[in-house]
Amino acid sequence: MLFVSGPRQVGKTTLARQLSDTFASSDYFNWDNHAHRSAILNGPEAVAEQLGLDRLHAEKPFCALDELHKYRGWRDFLKGLFDVYENRVHILVTGSARLDVFKRAGDSLMGRYFPYALHPLSVAECVAPERGGSLISPPERIEDGQWRALWRFGGFPEPFLKADDRFHTRWKNLRTEQLLREDLRDLTRIQELGQVESLALNLSRRAGLLTSYSSLAREIRASVDSVRRWTAALESLYFCFSVRPWHRNVTRGLRKEPKFYLWDWSQVEDPGARAENLVAGALLKATHWWAQSGQGDFGLYFVRDKQKREVDFLVTRDGQPWFLTEVKTSGNSALSSALALFQSQTGAEYAFQIAMDLDYIEADCFEHRKPIVVPARTFLSQLI
């Protein structure tokens, strides 16, 4: 089975329907559809009967199960379907909550699926939609209109393609309301929705900043344990994601406080924070894909010491520092001395200072080992 999870409106349903169309025999079930829900509640046998799994097929039928995680018994349902019909059907499960949170000892689905995360659009996906075979690709130029749309409207397909301010405002407000009200209510036991909404607003304002759970707790008048639990819920629903500090071999390196970023960077108002968030999203997308496609073990961190010297991001490969990334809005900014310092301490192969306002350059960023200033349009086009 394949589990594909990702934020609301990122394109999971479209992907499921497009894949269904590539099979001679397929069926699509959405938990939010009452007729589909009835079939699912009748058990794996009812779904198998609708798919015709008791008949001979030239190729395996395809079964897409959308938003199935909203069904409390979804894991047992899938286990029953997979264990009986494993060799007779392809199964795709999609959801707007992190399906991989159930990867734990004793999980009834352990070993029966591969998890994938569906991310918003990136520079690399705009210039090369079918890329994915190698870690780093040659650079390609992104169209100016696409670059402006990514910056202004984010990477979610609908507002990106429409590129309209009024539509984007309505879309953003509706998505936030559905996520912070409906999804939290339906998928968690959290009752304090107003406080969680305040927490989400604070996280939006703090994108890219060190985050103290105790200070967040004071601001929204909640306990630290509650803030930790609510933040984890917001992460599981793809509102935000956290980046932890890397401290190995870093002299007096920070060890605990994370930084948070939004999956929809268009909600970040400050230009500097939005730039950092956009790059964070691209790096997270790349590390997820590289790991989930079997190319190694990859992680995303930041580096900061107790003298407050910092580099925004460190990407690790198989547990070792691979490249450092500092984000600047202007190409006129001096090369950060922290890049050379932390490259020396961590042993990272590459160190980049990414400038958001520089024009695209037809050159491979990864041909340079020492700290260097590169255009964001060039660097990001070489990822996924």
Domains and CATH numbers, the chain: 2-117 (3.40.50.300), 123-381 (no CATH)
Mean pLDDT, rounded, of the chain: 95
pLDDT of residue 46: 96
Between the alpha carbon of residue 332 and those of residues 18, 326, 377, the distances in Å are 45, 14, 16
Task: Say whether pLDDT at 132 is over 90.
Answer: no
| Cβ partners under 8 Å of residue 333, min gap 6 | 353, 355
Between the alpha carbon of residue 370 and those of residues 128, 296, 350, 373, 374, the distances in Å are 28, 24, 6, 10, 12
| pLDDT single digits (tens) 66-84 | 999 999 899 999 999 999 9
pLDDT of residue 340: 99
| pLDDT single digits (tens) 185-202 | 888 889 999 999 999 999
pLDDT of residue 131: 84
Q: Copy the structure tokens of residue 122.
A: 């990136």
**Separation CA 22–CA 16 (nearest Å):** 10
pLDDT of residue 187: 84
Q: Copy the structure tokens of residue 271.
A: 């230009």
| pLDDT single digits (tens) 303-313 | 999 999 999 99
Question: What is the pLDDT confidence band of residue 95, given thresholds at 50, 70 and 90?
Answer: very high
Model pTM? 0.95
Task: Say whether pLDDT at 9 is over 80.
Answer: yes
Task: Say whether pLDDT at 54 is over 70.
Answer: yes
Task: Say whether pLDDT at 102 is over 50.
Answer: no
| Closest by CA position to 383, among listed 82, 190, 155 | 155
Instruction: Indicate the range of 63-67, 85-89, 98-102, 271-275 predicted with least confidence.
Output: 98-102
